Structure 1
Amino acid sequence: MEIRKDLESVAPYISRLISVGEEFRAFDKDWSHLKNQEDFRFVSRVPYEKRHKVEAVYADGRDMAIYMYDALLSINSDFSRYPTLTAIVEAFKNTWVYGSYDPEVPNVASDVCVEHDVDLWSVKQMVALFKKQEQLLAAVRVTLQMLQNSDLYKMENGIPVMKQEANIQVSGNSGSSININSSGATASVTVNYNEPTIFADMISAIKSNDLDNETEKVLIDNVQALAASHQSGGFKEAYKDFMQNVSAHITVFSPFISGLAALL
């Protein structure tokens, strides 16, 4: 898919958001199937006063899928909705992406079914699908943070762009010009920013923990976003988001907490 011209500098991240949107669109079909083609009709076995707590996993889960696929798939084509990169980033604030829903809905639905001895395969699948969508929300959050750290976003918002400066040292040359192919002149280029090795070590730790593919990808995305923020100067805020995003897998990162704190 060709990314719109004004977003070419952040094309990999826009492409990722669109791919996530496609996943949400596929999930919307799954929600419909689980409700209408499986045993969800037997939710009536749950007492009336508690039934809405089980039905909520479908209602909220499908609403999430519909909103997210519409919002994400429109990024590349709806200029009136997303005229700038800043508009894209801002559009997702106060939405599902940043927790504008009750995360306990799937757990409550499961508990109610257990409490009343109602075993519905469709509800179990809905709970799993809801949590899978939450993983995608985490990926969207990380990607939006990467976009917010980009030079394009900073230029749109009047934020100084920190360019990497190169110090060039030349030796063995007595004139005012350099002949690139000469045997007596050497040049060395030193880039001021060196990424701390802790980020690569964290990614290695993730890969060595035998996590499922989706979890591994989400955690690596979070580490990459954290590394990007360290270079761009937004590490303190990104660190808070990182700790929140990976809280369920904090044991993977416990050896690195003190090292990350030292970078604050």
Structure 2
Amino acid sequence: MEVRKDFISVEAEIYKAILLSKSLQELDSNWSHDKNNEDMHLIYGYDPNEYRKIEVLYSYGRSMARSLAYDLYSVNYADKHGTLYSWVQKIENDWVDQVQSYEKIISNALDAQSKTRRFNCVIQMVQTLQDQIKILESVLILIAILKTKDLYLLEERVINKTMSAVSKNSNTIESDEYDVFISHASEDKGTFVETFCEHLSAENIKFWYDSNEIGWGESLVRKINQGLSKSKYSIIVLSKSFVDKKWTNKELEAVLNIETNTGDVRVLPLMLGNSDEIKSILDQYPLLSTKRYLKVSDGISAIVENLKKVLSK
């Protein structure tokens, strides 16, 4: 399918959205309830509180496949989305908070099955929904990338009526942008990250730090995506704890994708640990092995001075 001409500057990303849509359409056609209804009718002999969890797995799972597939495919229709900005906002508003909800649906269905019996259709539906969640996670990374693109940023400024302010000084950073995004494991806050952030504040370096930016009840995913898209660089505090964390790895994956797509250096690796631990960390992230990294053991002052040199370029 040909990408619409007004989105030609982001052709690769739009084409990827369409391919992800097609993958979801294929999953929709394979939903196991259609093929294994000999299993499904048996669940109604059990407690309604249990079989409803399995019904929810089917109804919400298949609805997700169809709805997200349509939302992705509709990016190419100018009558549906006049701007890239409007489409990105649509995807972000409707889908950014959904991963945990679908994971909970899977957990509930498996719990119901453990209290009833093993239904083949449940196992197959769980696998299908897990595949869809992976696609959704790819979509969220794609959105983070698109929010760094010139077309999106231009439309955002026009729509938010900030073009006149920006045009007065094209080198002025908007007030809601950051120099660095701090990605870290929560276990490393007390041992390093909080002290590091105090030094950044003392040097007037604008940084995105979850404890400062995410308020009570706010969406973790939405705020993290906003922070990544509005930060010049991401300092990745790599440690033993970082390696085992799902969210930190998603942050690293997102910013590496942005770096790959833009060609700009975005990732600044910072190693926390001894030499053996650092070697183990690099074994986990081969894409970082070619990058120069700093070590926490070098001292915060040295790290901050190096960061100031990067920001001055």
- State how far apart, in whole Å, the 1-side matches of 2:265 and 2:97 are: 22
The residue that corresponds to 1:114 in the other structure is 114
1:213-224 superposed matches below 5 A: 223-224=256-257
Structure 2: which 5+ runs fail to align? 158-162, 172-231, 237-242, 244-250, 269-282, 297-302
Moved over 4 A (4+): 159-162, 218-222, 226-233, 258-264
Cα deviations by residue, 1:133-181 (Å, 9 ceiling, x for unpaired): 111001001111111100111122237688xxxxxxxxxxxxxxxxxxx
Counterpart residue number, 1:225: 258
Partner of residue 91, structure 2: 92
Query: How far 1:231 sits from its partner (Å)?
Result: 4.2
Please name the residue that 2:80 is paired with: 81
Question: How far is 1:124 from its partner?
Answer: 0.2
Look up the match of 1:134. 133
Q: Distance in 1 between matches of 2:115 and 2:294?
A: 45
Question: Which runs of 5 or more residues in structure 1 are unaligned?
Answer: 163-194, 200-205, 207-217, 237-250
Q: How does 1:56-205 map to 2 (within 5 A)?
A: 56-76=56-76, 78-99=77-98, 101-116=101-116, 118-158=117-157
CA distance in 2, matches of 1:83, 1:6: 10
Task: Return the offset for 1:88.
Answer: 1.2
Counterparts of 1:153 and 1:20 in 2: how far apart (Å)? Answer: 20
- Paired residue for 1:12? 12
Alpha-carbon offset, residue 220 of structure 1: 5.3
Structure having greater relative contact order (Cα 8 Å, sep ≥ 6): 1
TM-superposed deviation, 1:219: 7.7
Relative to structure 1, is the Cα distance of residues 30 and 111 closer, same or farther in structure 2, using a 3 angstrom cutoff? same
> Hey, what does 1:180 align to over in structure 2?
none
Residue identity opposite 1:154 in structure 2: L
Local SS of the residue matching 1:74: helix
Specify the code of the residue in structure 2 equivalent to 1:25: Q
Aligned twin of 1:35: 33
Closer/same/farther in 2, CA of residues 51 and 2 from structure 1, 3 Å limit: same
Instruction: State the AA in 2 paired with 1:10.
Output: V
Structure 2 CA distance for partners of 1:110 and 1:224, relative to 1, 3 Å: same
User: Contact 2:17–2:72 at 8 Å: present in 1 too?
Assistant: yes
1: CA distance, partners of 2:48 / 2:108 = 15
Which secondary structure state, in structure 2, belongs to the residue aligned with residue 98 of structure 1?
coil
Assess if the C-alpha contact under 8 Å between 1:21 and 1:68 holds in 2. yes
Query: Relative to structure 1, is the Cα distance of residues 95 and 57 closer, same or farther in structure 2, using a 3 angstrom cutoff?
Result: same
Which whole-Å CA distance do the structure 1 matches of 2:108 and 2:294 have between them?
38
Deviation at 1:44, TM superposition (A): 1.9
Q: Secondary structure at the match of 2:30?
A: helix
2:47 corresponds to which residue? 47
With normalisation by structure 2, the TM-score equals 0.53
Cα distance in 2 for partners of 1:115, 1:54 equals: 12
TM-score (norm 1): 0.62
Cα gap change, 1:226 to 1:98, in 2 (>3 Å)? farther
Asked if structure 2 preserves the Cα contact closer than 8 Å seen for 1:149 and 1:228, the reply is no
Larger radius of gyration: 1
Deviation sequence 1:22-43 (CA, Å, 0-9, x none)? 0111111112xx1132122222
2:18/2:72 contact within 8 Å kept: yes
Q: CA deviation at 1:230?
A: 9.9
Corresponding letter in the other structure for 2:119: L
Q: Which amino acid aligns with 1:84?
A: T
Residues 2 and 99 of structure 1: is their aligned pair in 2 closer, same or farther, counting only changes over 3 Å? same
Looking at structure 1, the residues matched to 42 and 22 of structure 2 have their Cα atoms a distance apart, in angstroms, of 30
- Aligned residues, how many? 194
